Structures are given as structure tokens and as C-alpha cells.
A and B are shown apart, each in its own frame.
Chain A
Amino acid sequence: MHINKVLLVDDDDITNIIHRRVIHKSGLVHEVLVAKDGQQALDILGDHIDQAMTLPELILLDINMPGMGGFEFLEQYAARNLATRGQMIIVMLSTSLLRSDHARAEADPNVYSFSEKPITADGFAELVKGYAANMSPAAASP
């Protein structure tokens, strides 16, 4: 199982570098896109829709970012009905140890799961596997 595109939404450069390398080494993904905050992520998704490109299948979303944070992104994502535009799953990432953050992320219907960051190689492989299981065989991307 391969996926086409992953969108990383995080303001922390080192985290993005680590995730890029983990994803690259997994050999499971063709393209990695990076947005530094929620707004940039929305812009990237918007451009994809405008240009009729395949949307990323996996979004790794940080909670705390300067500018538009993870929870605000989720609000916009729901308001713009982006879930209906492609086969996307959102994995919320955080170093947050607060139970309230976990509960809030888990309550959002568009959040597939909640992970501690940075994601490990095994953790990422699990996510891709989970994505495949989550999507119906007919709908899954090639």
C-alpha cells in the first residue's frame, strides 16, 4: 500500500525535517507537502481543488501554531466541507500532555487519530496501514 501525498502542517522546522525523513525512508509516499500553519494548509488544499489535482490522503496536523492553529484549521476544514472533496484522513499531532487537548481532538469527527510527535517509522507505517483499512477498496487511491 502506497499513498500519493502527505501534507505536514507544523510550524516547527526540525519536526518537519524529521517527519520528511521518516516518511521518505518508509518509501510509502510519493510526495510530501509542508504548510507552516493552518492558513497555508487551507491554501494548499484550495489550490489542489482549483487545479483539479489529487488531494493529499494524509494530513499530519499540529495543534499549537502561530497564526491559524490546528483546532481553527479543523473548524475551517469542516466549514468548507473539505472532507467531501477527497479521501483524506487527519492525524492530530501534539506534544501536548493535557487531557483536555486529547479529548477535544478525539471529539472532532474529522480527526482520524491523535499521535505524539514526532512520529516514529513504525508509527508512520501504522498510519498508512490504518488509512488503507479506513478507505473502502474501491475508493482507495492506486
Chain B
Amino acid sequence: MQQIANSIDAQALRAPFKDEFDAIQFYEQIVSLVPGILYIYNHKHETNEYSNNSIGALLGYSPEEVLEMGENVLPNLIHPDDLPRLGRYFASLKSLDDGVTTGIEYRAIASDGSTVWLRSNDAIFQRDTDGEVLRHIGVSNDVTEQVTKSLRLAEINKELEERTAQLERSNAELEQLAYIATHDLKVPLSNLSHLVEMLEEELETPSQEATEALGWMQGACRQANEKLAALVRVAEVRSGELNPRAVIDLASATQKACHALSCEIAEAGARIEIDFSAAPAVLFPEFEISSMFENLISNALRYAHPARRPVITLQSRKCAHGVEMCIRDNGRGLSLPQDAEKVFGLFKRAHVHPEGSGIALYIIRKMLERYGGSITVDSSKGEWTEFALTFTAPERAGS
């Protein structure tokens, strides 16, 4: 195979010339077919000795117009801002090594006044007996389209970078604001709740109404405190430091969560079934995963179907992205897809009763996303709900 390729290359390079005349005709035709301007520049005489096309023609000037410019051809045709750079470039060609191609992009002014970007590629053609560069050969092409595109791209990139920086700044400000707001609200709120207690102690024989009102005040304070705590938790999960990941045994993480929920599980008479045989472990921060499982199981219990004994199954399997863990219940189910946004939304709840804080699933999703996982929900109203969580597999620790 390689041999055939070599022989084709050799044939292509060995031009089929019968004689010198044939060769000259070949080169003349090639030269006339090349787009742009091919030229030979003499450094001793400082003139173009040969060119297949005139730069004037390329830029839309008539031969008469070019002739009229006389010695001022270059200063007339080249963009004034690029003229010094082009001069330095020409001078640098004198110290170019043989066999090396160098290049420059510069602007010229077309006859209609528009800017044309030219690219010249140059190489040494001949040297004097003393070794000085006598002639160099080059080719100039109109690269306006390419250059304009890349300039536009650079411009868009810069705009994008600026916008990203702006977003990052406003994000940081918002997080700061959330911290300050929660802290500054927490102080008076904690004090208020404490003052209610103090007042309760001071009232020796409060009326029933007063006792009730004080109780409600306490309740209102507790509610506001819980909301604030949830807000801080959300701010933390969005931007807090990432915790180190560990190989988590799914069975023991589930066990831990069930242990924490043992009262609720017993009260509901729930049965929890697990099967992690297909994929027993995942990579995740230990602290986060137990609270995540606890929340998922407690959600399943909270929204159990009133007519059925709750059965919650947890199963894992290997998938393209790592490990998928599904938790399925036989509860009240959701009305998908309209409930989907509420399920994972911040401070949103799909069910009116009983009350949840409305952040657990939002936090679980954010948490999974931050560590390269995901969560989706599927459900049948009145029958079952299934959450599918994807994790990094432990053997992919390095990726």
C-alpha cells in the first residue's frame, strides 16, 4: 500500500516535460492559474522583478491608475497603520534562512475604499555571491473573509468573557447578599423567639388567649428560622467547597439512613427492599450521601399511599455514565410532567399535604450535579414514584 502511494507521489513530482520549452509552458500556465499574486523581489534593486498579477488589479485599480501612483504605489495601496510593520517585515527577510517560509497579514485599500486583508508568504529565492539575499519569492492572497471571520470570532469571544466575568461578579454578590440577609435576619429573629419565652415566664397567670398568642408567636419564629436555615443550606450547596469523595457502599449508606428514620419506618409499617448486587458502590462524599438517602426515603414515607403499606425498593445497576441507583415507592405518585418542575424546584412542593421544606430534592439535584451526577423522576399518579440517581462509579475515580 505504502509502495503504491510512493510511486504516485514520485510520478506527480516528476513533471512530464519533453523539453525545456514544454517545461516553461507548464510553469507559465501554473502561474496564471494561481490565485493571488506571485512575485519575485530583488533586494539589490528594491523592485519587483516579476509578478503574475498586479496588486493594483487585485485591489480593483486600472493599470493607468497604478501607473499614476508611480513610486508611491505601496504607500497609496497599503493601510497607513500597517505600512511600518510591512517595512520591518521586508527588512527581516534579509536575514531569513534558506528553505524557511515566513508570512505576514496586512491591510490594503481597494479602489472602492474598502479594506482588503492580504496574506503574503515569502521564502529566499536566490543569494548573491557574498551570501546576501538577492531575490525572494512570494505569494500574496486575499484573506479578507478569513480574517474578518476570525476577528469577529475574537470579538464575540471577548464579549462572552466579559459577560461571564460580569455574571460571576453578580453571582458572588448575590451569595454575599444571601449570607448577610440570613445572618442579619437571624439575630433579631432568635432574639424575638427568646423574648417570647422570657415574656411567658414573666406572666404569672396568663389568660388562655395570651398563652395561645405566645405559642403562635413561637411557631412563627420557628417557621422563619427554618426558612432561613434552608436558605443558607441552599447557598452552601450551590457554592460551598466541594467535599472529598469516597467509595460509598450503597447498602451501608441505606442502612445508615434507615437507622436514622427507624421511628418513621416503624410507624408507617414500611418495608424497605434493597438490591445493590449489580453495582454495590459509588463515588461520593460520605456525609452528603447519607443525608441524601435519608431525604429520599423520608420523602417516600411522607407521600405514601393511605390505602397501602409503603414498600420502598432501592436498586443499583451499571450504566453508561457510571452507576444508576433507583429508589421506587408505591405511594401517591405525581402528575407528570406538570409536577416535574415543582419536584426539583426551589421552595416548591408538588403535594399540598403534608408539609415539607421544599428544598430537599432541589439540594439533592444540585449536590449530584456538582459531583458529576444527575437525578430524574418518573411516576404514575396514584401508583408509584421512582427517582433515578446517577453517580460516578468507583473505578472511574481518576476521570
Which of A18, A64, A97, A117 contacts B229 (CB under 8 A)? A97
Q: Does A26 contact B (CB under 8 A)?
A: no
Q: Does A54 contact B (CB under 8 A)?
A: no
Q: Does B171 contact A (CB under 8 A)?
A: no
Q: Does B195 contact A (CB under 8 A)?
A: yes
Q: Does A134 contact B (CB under 8 A)?
A: no
Residues of A within 8 A of B229 (CB): 97
Q: Is the CB of B186 within 8 A of A97?
A: yes
Q: Is the CB of A120 within 8 A of B194?
A: yes
Q: Is the CB of A97 within 8 A of B228?
A: yes
Q: Does A53 contact B (CB under 8 A)?
A: no
B229 nearest CB neighbor, chain A only: A97
A116 to B183 alpha-carbon distance, docked (Å): 12
Q: How many residues of A contact B (CB 8 A)?
A: 16
B12: shortest Cβ distance to chain A, in Å? Answer: 69
Q: Does A21 contact B (CB under 8 A)?
A: yes
Which of A95, A98, A99 contacts B190 (CB under 8 A)? A95
Also in contact, A98 and B187, with CB within 8 A (given A18-B198, A21-B198) = no
Please, what's the 1-or-0 string for B30-44, where 1 marks a CB less than 8 Å from any CB in chain A? 000000000000000
Residues of A within 8 A of B195 (CB): 14, 18
A116 to B193 alpha-carbon distance, docked (Å): 13
B235: shortest Cβ distance to chain A, in Å? Answer: 8
A100 to B237 alpha-carbon distance, docked (Å): 12
Interface of B is mostly: helix
| Residues of chain B from 171 to 188 with CB closer than 8 A to chain A in the complex | 179, 182-183, 186-188
Residues of A within 8 A of B191 (CB): 12, 14-15, 18, 118
Please, what's the 1-or-0 string for A94-108, where 1 marks a CB less than 8 Å from any CB in chain B? 011111100000000
Q: Is the CB of A100 within 8 A of B198?
A: no
Q: Is the CB of A12 within 8 A of B182?
A: no
Q: Is the CB of A95 within 8 A of B187?
A: yes
Residues of B within 8 A of A21 (CB): 198
Please, what's the 1-or-0 string for A120-132, where 1 marks a CB less than 8 Å from any CB in chain B? 1000000000000
A39 to B363 alpha-carbon distance, docked (Å): 39
- A residues in contact (CB < 8 Å) with B: 12, 14-15, 18, 21, 64, 95-100, 116-118, 120
- B residues in contact (CB < 8 Å) with A: 179, 182-183, 186-188, 190-191, 194-195, 197-198, 228-229, 232-233, 236, 240-241
Q: Can you identify 28 A-B contacts, CB atoms within 8 angstroms?
A: A12-B187, A14-B188, A14-B191, A15-B187, A15-B191, A18-B191, A18-B194, A18-B195, A18-B198, A21-B198, A64-B183, A95-B183, A95-B190, A96-B183, A96-B186, A97-B182, A97-B186, A97-B228, A97-B229, A98-B179, A98-B232, A98-B236, A99-B236, A100-B241, A116-B190, A117-B187, A118-B190, A120-B197
